[in-house]
Structure formats: structure tokens, C-alpha cells
Amino acid sequence: MRGEVMRGGVMRGGVMLPYQDPSLPVEDRVTDLIGRMTADEKAGLLCHAPVAVAPDGGLVDEPRTLLPTAPTTHAVRDLHLRCLTLMAPVAAGPLARWHNEVQVLAARSRLGIPVLVSSDPRHSANANPLTSVPSGGCSRWPEPLGFGALGDEDLVRDFARVIRAEYTAVGIRMALHPMADLASEPRWCRTAGTFGADPDVVGRLAGAYVDGLQGPDLGPDAVASMVKHWPGAGPQADGEDAHFASGKDQVYPAGLFELHLDRFRPALRAGVAAVMPYYGRPVGVDGLAGVGFAFDPEVVAGRLRRDEGYEGLVCTDFGVLTDSTLADGTVWPARAWGVEHLDRPERAAMLLDAGVDQFGGEWCPEVITGLVADGRVAQARVDESARRVLTLLFRLGLFENPYVDEETATATVGRADFVAAGEAAQRRSMVLLANDGVLPLADGIRLYVEGVDRATAARYATVVDRPEDADVALVRLDAPYEPRDRLPEAFFHQGALDFPADRLDRLRALAATVPTVIDLFLDRPAVIPELAEDAAALLADFGATDDAVLDVVFGRARPEGRLPFELPRSMAAVEAHPEDLPGGTPDPVFPLGHSVGALDWRPRTGEPQKG
């Protein structure tokens, strides 16, 4: 349907209404439309609801996923919601088909206000459904940590432009990313989504990311960016995440609250369309109320709007009003830290008083209209936030043409040059942490592998079944973590950063049998002094395929990354470390920015060598 202009609403007597006229300034169009809307229609704009998509692209009106989702038809047609976020991977063609069906549903409404579709990241390896979405065919790139390892603003802009092309092709017009959080607490489970622990790198890359997504002017070919998690979600007490009551507190023992907030300024200067505050409640920060960030007027209306001059949309993180019942019957409490005692209307009123515009993960506009009817919230306050939502819809050109073309979508998502660029970034972002001379390996070497697809490895070497028969062993590992038993906490990698003793003993025994190359997927730091001592070579990746790792190991690609955080020497050092201080543990195994030079990284030929 691309190119077919279908304007919202019905012309009165054949005359175009002012809000339908693209020649008028956006502000005038918004004013006209606001004047025609009912209280229910305005309230619907203040909810940003998760929805599911059927594999064939059909609308899902009953929950089919682990996490609760809004019934799409009811949400758009009856509740007047116009901001929906996708919760599952769907191939490009069906997703484009679904998107157009949703827009047709919206166009049939009284005023024809189109739908803005958003998504968490879809281009990396993270499989946590609460923080990212498996690709659905999108090109695959490293986690943001990999970009932090390279520190290359131009590469980040190029990546964001690829996201922009693939998202717009299927109708996703808002990215619930990037994270501008500073990874100061090594145990924090959200570290993979950050650009690391270097304050300068984090700020620069977050700004470049927004610039690449939105372009010089937020227009019909742009993707609006929602930077998160204002004013910095990194310093979680004991590393526990604020998705859960065990991690509700954010602490600043080194007094570095301002350092974390400052990382958001490049994204704000780039004109970011939306900002998401985090769940956490700050402890011991002068001038703050000690409640979840979104509930505090000083955090939103004060520090963000008053001090930074920010005039865009503010949307809460998902699920601060309503408890969620998961598919297995588990009740996941709302993340209303510090105000748990308040009911839903009281929480909503407090958020609006704080300066928030949208309630993420919610589809309860009746709460908003109820507050207005009771005189607790002025209609003018709801209108203020509705204006911000409508302004974004107009600027993105959705009123002129909200539809996408299914053929264009399938041709664009996963395009060969996008895939190649992502694969190159996976290789470049790897960090060579240690090498006693064994790397790069020679083609045809006798290789024992663990955690690597044998058929893939066989394209590079002769794969053997026993370490004793190998010249070299190659082992791929995930960074250690403590599994949590209950959903949804089981999705998050939290807790200790060192390997259990039995796992470590086995790895050390392997390294004593044959020179062992270890590749470690670092979704957060790891405590690995023994592996650093025993491995013949140690690599870090931030989301890479077996092909990418093998290309680096055999010298066909050069690792260019530098460690985007330090690797502490012990858990005792981690536990004694101030949660808000990036780096600075005593005598780390590898410091922030570490890498072994790899300038002569080319394939070896000839006789395989031991060690």
C-alpha cells in the first residue's frame, strides 16, 4: 500500500478538515484535532500497550505469549489506543500485513488517527523477551557492548540507519532504545544493552545512535527513538535489577548521580523523541523523593524538562501501574517502587503530576478518564500529554500514509548488505584478551570443540572427538551467572560473576591437556583469573555466530575491540565496589579498555603447531 494516501477521518461535506491538511503547521493540526477529540480518545493516547502478532500476520485478540498483551482490536477500536509495542518475532511479510491491518482498523475510527508501532531491540543475540525481541529476520549485529568496545560513532550511525530501514519497512516507527545507562555495577543484568562503563563512550554513542535513527529531521522516513533509562539505571544495589522487588534501590556510595545523568545529554541534544525513566528508587540523593524515578516530579518535570529543556514525550518503563499475571499463573507485581501502597488511580495521578505523558505496558485509559471525572487530574493536563503524542504522529507522517508495502518489507528486512555489515561488526567488536602465540590458528589443524557447531568448525579444521587427539581446543562459553528459578526473573542473568568450582575445574583440566582457546560471550563482566592464567588464548565476544568466532580464531578477520568494562579479580572486589563507580576495582584481571594488539592478524598456513 506504500504510495497510496489514505487520510484519517471523514471529510465533512467533502471539505478537508484542518488536521487532515499536510500543508498546515503541525502545531495547528494538533490544535484542531485535540478540539475534536473526546475525553476517552485523548486518554487512549496516554497508554502504550504491548500486543502480539499471529505468525500469519493476523490480529491477536487473546494473549498467546508468556507476557500479558492487549487484545489488539479492542485496544485500537474501543479503547482508542494509538501506541502499540510488539512483543514477539514475526517474519517481515506477515508483520507488514499485520501492520496494515491495524492501520485499516484505526482508519475506520471516528477521527482516523493512525497507530504508532514500537519495538524493543531486534538486531542482537539477547533472548530475554522482557528486554529484546529475537530478530524476525532482521540483520544480526553485536550487542551494544560490542559497539562500546569499538567506540566508533560512525559505525553506530550506520547501524542505526540499518535499523531505520528494516523497521520502517515493516511499519515500526519507534525504537524503545538506545540505553544511555552507564554500566558501573558489574553484576547488573542489563549491561549487555549498554555501551559499557566508559562515560565518554556511552554518551557519544548514545547520541550517534539517536542521530542515525531519527536523521536530521524527524520525518516520514525516520524512526523515533526512546532513550532509556533516565536518569541512569546502572547503579543497582548489589547488582539486582529493578524489574524485581529485590532490586528496587539504586545507590550512589561514590556520589556519582550526576555522572550517570550526564550520559543522556548527547541523546537529548540530538533531539531524541522520547525518554523512558527507570523503575528504580534512588537512595540518599539530595532533592529526590526516594520513589521510582517516573513518580518523582523533580526527576521528570524538574531535572529533565526544567533543567534540560526537554519538550518531547516521556513514557514510563512497562508495568508501573498494574500487576501482571503470567501464562503460568505467576503474579508479577507492578514496579511501583516506593509507592506500592497506592492503588492504580493514585499511581497514575502521581505520574501525571510528575510530568509523565504515557504509561508503558498499560491499556487502562479508564483510569485516566476516571481521574478527570473525579477532579483529581485536570483535563488540560491530559490534553498536554495527548498533544505530545499527536505531535509525534504528525511529524512521522503517519497521518499522510501509515501503510507499508509487503514486498518492500520482505526485500528490505535481512537484506544481504545489512547482514554482511552486521557480520563484519560481530567480528570487529571482539576483544583479544590474552594470547600466548597460539592465535591465529593454522587451517586444517586438529581441533577439539565445545560450544561450537562441529559442522561449522569442520570448514576450518579437522574436528576430533577427544582433547587428547587435538592440537588445540576451542571452547565457547557464556559469562557465568546464578540462575533464578521463577519467571520472569529466570530470563535475567544476575548474581555472582564467577564460574562454579566444578565447571572451572573441568575447564582447567582441559587447558592442562591441550592448548585451549576460550571465547567468552560477555553480556556482563566475568571473574575469570584462573581462565586468564590457564588458557592459551582468551577472546571476548558481544554476540557473535560460530562463523564469526572461527574467522577471528583462524585469522580471517581481525578483532579490533577494547574491553568496554573491566573484568574484576574476585567477587570480594565486586561486592566491595561502589555501585555507581565505573571501574576502579583493585587489581582487575583486565582493565577497562584492555586488548592485546592484533595488528598482524592473518591466516597461518603450513604445519599445525602445538601451543
Q: Which residue has the cell 499485520?
A: 98
Distance CA 409, CA 425 (A): 23
Q: What are the backbone angles phi and psi of residue 48, rounded to the nearest 5°?
A: -125, 95
Distances (CA, A) of 114 to 45, 53, 88, 277, 315: 11, 18, 21, 26, 19
Q: Which residue has the cell 574484576?
A: 568
Among residues 125, 60, 53, the alpha carbon closest in space to that of 546 is found at: 125
* Cell numbers found for residue 558: 581481525
Q: Going edge to edge, which strands form the sheet with 116-119?
A: 313-314, 274-277, 224-230, 172-175, 116-119, 83-86, 47-51, 359-360
DSSP tag of 137: T
Non-local (6+) Cβ contacts of 521 within 8 A are 125, 476, 477, 478, 479, 540, 541, 542, 543, 544
Distance CA 25, CA 22 (A): 8
Distance CA 232, CA 434 (A): 32
Region label for 276, one of left (φ > 0), alpha (ψ between -120 and 50) or beta (otherwise): beta
Distance CA 597, CA 439 (A): 12
Q: What are the backbone angles phi and psi of residue 607, rounded to the nearest 5°?
A: -70, 130
- Active-site annotation holds for 587: no
Distance CA 575, CA 187 (A): 9
Distance CA 247, CA 250 (A): 8
Q: Which residue has the cell 576451542?
A: 474
Q: Give the other-Cβ count within 10 Å of 39's Cβ.
A: 16
Alpha-carbon dihedral angle through residues 69, 71, 74, 76, given to the nearest 10 degrees:
60
Q: What are the backbone angles phi and psi of residue 359, rounded to the nearest 5°?
A: -100, 105
* Cell numbers found for residue 583: 571501574
Question: What Rg value do the Cα atoms of the chain yield, rounded?
Answer: 25
Distances (CA, A) of 127 to 25, 183, 196: 42, 20, 19
Distance CA 333, CA 330 (A): 10
Non-local (6+) Cβ contacts of 111 within 8 A are 8, 9, 33, 36, 37, 41
Instruction: Pick the catalytic residue from 181, 249, 317, 546.
Output: 317
| Helix and strand element counts for the chain (H, E) | 19, 18
What residues are labeled active site? 317
